[in-house]
Structure 1
């Protein structure tokens, strides 16, 4: 469809037409006394990033111990270095 123009002074009278055009992906220019103020462009539909297979996988029940033996956690993982603790208390 070709672009349309709406003057903001008449917007209350033409709001239904404006919204209809926007829903139908028509490019709309808003003007005031003939001077363009804004352009309303149709949004493009984003490509889906999640497939049905992804959703099906996400909804499967989790299996306890699935990562056992596959992930190594360092022995000092829970230890916080003294300089980090000092920084939290402003004792640098």
Structure 2
């Protein structure tokens, strides 16, 4: 269950709220009783990922060329001066 606090309380007690989030609790911040934000532990997704969701949405320009080996060597520090 989420804890709901108003913006003023969130500002005043941010450290305490972050401790609650670290303990796994969700914290909802509301303005005038309307939820505007949710604090959740970092790295926790609120929705499951959908494999392949971005498939077919990328493109490669027709004039794209592979990176020349000389340039790769220069980045690695292998290029002759």
Q: TM-score range by the shorter chain?
A: 0.3 to 0.5
Larger helix proportion, structure 1 or 2?
1
TM-score relative to the length of structure 2: 0.45
Q: Quick one: higher RCO (CA 8 Å, sep 6+), 1 or 2?
A: 2
Higher radius of gyration, 1 or 2: 1
